[in-house]
Chain A
Amino acid sequence: MADWGLPGLTRRQLLEQLGRVGGSAAVLAAMQAFGISTASAAERPPELRGSGAGKKILIVGAGHAGATSAYELSKLGYDVTILEARSFSGGRAQTARRGFQAQEMGGEPARCDFDDGHYINIGPWRIPYHHRSTLYYTKLFDVPLEIMVNDNDAAFLYGRDVPGRLNRQLVRQGEIKADLRGMTCELVAKAAATGRLDGLLSADDKEIFLDYLCNEGYLSRQDLTYRGVDGMGISIRGFARHPGAGLVKGEGLPLLDFSDILNSRLWQHFNAVTEFDMQWTMFQPVGGMDQIARGFERHMGHLIRFDSEIERLRQNDQGVTADWINTKTGQRGSTTADYAIVTMPLSVLHRLDTDFSESFKEAMEGVAYAPVMKAGLQMKRRFWEEDFSIYGGHIKTNFDNGMGIYNISFPSTAWQSQKGVLLGAYIYGAVAVQASAKSLRDRLEYCLDIGETVFPGHYRANFETGFSWCWHRAKYNQGGWAEWSEAGRKTAYPKLLQPEGRVYLAGEHLSYMTGWQAGAIESAWMQIEKLHHRVLQA
């Protein structure tokens, strides 16, 4: 065994040893000393010692927060039971595939009829590299991941009714990006060269700045002009005729007009992947996001009591009692435990019959939930790949989705196979509410109309079957994710982080990563650590 300072001990080995001796706090302190940024606030479960044997824990909800709590607490010897209202686990981390059936409140029964092997992630669909907590469990449970192409310069931008010549044109994002970057660099370079930035830059820095602008924007160093070509005169932004064998040198596409680009406002799409949450490439589980739930189930599935909808929650100084109804058989029963972890979304939980204090009940009402609709469309031919050379990523349009953006997203799996399910709608807010008022068939028509405008002759002709789902109309969710206001974070949020008697809440709503799986997992880690310390001190 190596000593602390011994050469050959890797940073990770050192941290692991520190962890064994000093727990997660020592590891975090050391990592900060190393200057390592820990992306997720927590990247592994709390290192808990001592036994929970003899203590019963009731968990409500078998989504990631509930499954995480159950898995970690049962390892400590706790006697854990999960009540899950649905007949499957995973909560919102759900995948619709052939045979998947669901019914929204006030809606028609919906059934997914995709061909075998095809699916749509109707909940979360991408994992950032820095969500170490989510990636901790995918690794632990052997859930294979693949790359999810979250941005693709070959995918089109489409502006409907925009001023200028880009109106209703399909333009590859890479072309607009290259021209916007080049032309902006040219403007700034010429301003710098003619002394208009003097006073903002030192003379020495100005020369380096010009070097940078020429490099960044492919400007000619002689006249500081952007022509969309590299030093060899070869197009950097795409070809009308691609370079080929023999004498086929290729023919670059003409530059776009700067004013047209500005006026189209299509540039508003470009800051999306520069957000911390978003990357050009992200991860997705092979075969669907629900594979994470299957992974959890392999290790704690025996603790879940399915089809068990909680109707009432009561507690006293001895324990917690949940009354439940089996939604299949109508049978009622009660489960008593020493403590409870309730992971239902606040949008649903606030209506549960509980004996929580008035101030806690009020806090549970202090948050809004996002209306969200997703629709998957099965296409009999991957025309986006075969005819347009678009492999993954999103078509970005200015069709209103309440945010001025409507994307069509292509599957990052089964490349070059025959069929594919694309994400024909992922809409929020009032537009999601409006679309959700339509019949299932009309929702698909709404998606197809938009797609057909972008891909005339292809979209409808290739469409076979679709599946839409609205989280705000899902009985056990009533919203895609919690939307905290600043005021709510100050008043209601801190109350909900504290246990209400013997009841702890967990879920994405109790994190600053709302709507992300990591938020659910890490909130569970936070609460089980508190609960376990309390048990040990009792």
Chain B
Amino acid sequence: MSKRHTGFAGLFLLATLAPGAADADEQTGRSLYLQNCAACHQTEGQGLGHPIPPLAGSPILLGDETEVAGLILHGKAGMPAFHLYLGDDVIAAILSYARDAWGNAAPPISLALVTAERAKLGNDGFRIPTN
């Protein structure tokens, strides 16, 4: 479990420390977005119509930082709960990218904020599905 949460830590750290960090951040964020979100939200955040609305101008994505971080961690309204699968660094990178892509212009989400949100989860009753 702990391994999974830090699976991308090296990659992300490297990206943030390298010169031209802003570009690298964006690249990392985009590639993580494509990998983990695009199957449903599509490559340019255009969504899939009624069931999955677009991310450009999305009030939830661009709204309260803790709420949007909580949404990725806990899931909501049928969206998966990613806290079992994605590390805090990955979630922060993806959110920061999406909040600044496709005409969006919201400030980035910090790793510390995601970590603090995860800590609120406590024992949330999730278990590895085995059906």
Query: Does B bind A?
Result: yes
Residues 32-90 (chain B) with a chain A CB within 8 angstroms? 34-40, 42, 48-52, 74-82, 84-86
Task: Verify A106–B42 contact, CB threshold 8 A.
Answer: yes
Bound Cα distance A434, B51 (Å): 19
Residues 73-131 (chain B) with a chain A CB within 8 angstroms? 74-82, 84-86, 121-126, 128-131
Residues 365-405 (chain A) with a chain B CB within 8 angstroms? 365-371, 400, 402-404
Task: Verify A105–B40 contact, CB threshold 8 A.
Answer: yes
Chain A's closest residue to B86 (CB) is A430
Bound Cα distance A528, B51 (Å): 29
Task: Verify A473–B39 contact, CB threshold 8 A.
Answer: yes
Count A interface residues, CB 8 Å: 50
A303 at the interface (CB under 8 A from B): no
Question: Which residues from chain B contact A470 at a C-beta distance below 8 Å?
Answer: 39
Chain A's closest residue to B81 (CB) is A368
Question: Which residues from chain A contact B78 at a C-beta distance below 8 Å?
Answer: 345-348, 350, 367-369, 478-479
Task: Verify B35–A429 contact, CB threshold 8 A.
Answer: no
Residues of B in contact with A, size category? 35 or more
B80 to chain A, nearest CB (A): 5
Bound Cα distance A192, B112 (Å): 49
B53 to chain A, nearest CB (A): 9
- Given A105-B52, A368-B78, A485 and B125 contact (CB-CB distance below 8 Å): yes
Task: Verify B74–A368 contact, CB threshold 8 A.
Answer: yes
- Given A105-B48, A433-B36, A483 and B76 contact (CB-CB distance below 8 Å): no
Chain A's closest residue to B37 (CB) is A433
Chain B's closest residue to A481 (CB) is B131
Which listed residue (A367, A436, A437, A481) contacts B129, Cβ 8 A? A481
Bound Cα distance A480, B129 (Å): 10
A31 at the interface (CB under 8 A from B): no
A119 at the interface (CB under 8 A from B): no
Task: Verify A515–B80 contact, CB threshold 8 A.
Answer: no
Question: Which residues from chain A contact B75 at a C-beta distance below 8 Å?
Answer: 367-369, 483
Q: Chain B residues in contact with chain A, CB under 8 A?
A: 3-4, 34-40, 42, 48-52, 74-82, 84-86, 121-126, 128-131
Which listed residue (B51, B74, B81) contacts A478, Cβ 8 A? B51
Q: Which of A167-175, A228-236, A272-280, A284-292 contacts B (4 or more CB under 8 A)?
A: A272-280
Bound Cα distance A313, B52 (Å): 20
Task: Verify B81–A430 contact, CB threshold 8 A.
Answer: no
Secondary structure type dominating chain A contacts:
loop
Task: Verify A483–B79 contact, CB threshold 8 A.
Answer: no
Task: Verify B130–A370 contact, CB threshold 8 A.
Answer: no
- Given A347-B78, A481-B129, A402 and B39 contact (CB-CB distance below 8 Å): no
CB-defined A-B contacts under 8 Å, sample of 6: A348-B78, A367-B76, A433-B36, A433-B37, A433-B80, A514-B131
Bound Cα distance A395, B122 (Å): 34
A472 at the interface (CB under 8 A from B): yes
Beyond the given A351-B50, A437-B35, please list 5 additional residue pairs across the A-B interface where CB-CB is below 8 A. A105-B52, A348-B51, A437-B34, A472-B80, A485-B125
Task: Verify A515–B48 contact, CB threshold 8 A.
Answer: no
Task: Verify A370–B40 contact, CB threshold 8 A.
Answer: no
Bound Cα distance A366, B76 (Å): 6
A484 at the interface (CB under 8 A from B): yes
Task: Verify B84–A437 contact, CB threshold 8 A.
Answer: no
A180 to chain B, nearest CB (A): 21
Bound Cα distance A486, B25 (Å): 35
A301 at the interface (CB under 8 A from B): no
Question: Which residues from chain B contact A485 at a C-beta distance below 8 Å?
Answer: 74, 81, 121, 124-126
Question: Which residues from chain B contact A278 at a C-beta distance below 8 Å?
Answer: 130
B76 to chain A, nearest CB (A): 6
Task: Verify A437–B77 contact, CB threshold 8 A.
Answer: no
A475 at the interface (CB under 8 A from B): yes
- Given A105-B48, A470-B39, A487-B124, A429 and B131 contact (CB-CB distance below 8 Å): no
Residue of B3, B38, B42, B130 most packed against chain A (CB within 10 A): B130
Residue of B38, B74, B77, B130 most packed against chain A (CB within 10 A): B77
A482 to chain B, nearest CB (A): 9
B117 to chain A, nearest CB (A): 13
A367 to chain B, nearest CB (A): 7
Question: Which residues from chain A contact B50 at a C-beta distance below 8 Å?
Answer: 351
Bound Cα distance A396, B122 (Å): 30
- Given A470-B39, A483-B129, A485-B125, A430 and B85 contact (CB-CB distance below 8 Å): yes
B23 to chain A, nearest CB (A): 24
Residues 157-181 (chain A) with a chain B CB within 8 angstroms? none
Task: Verify A516–B4 contact, CB threshold 8 A.
Answer: no
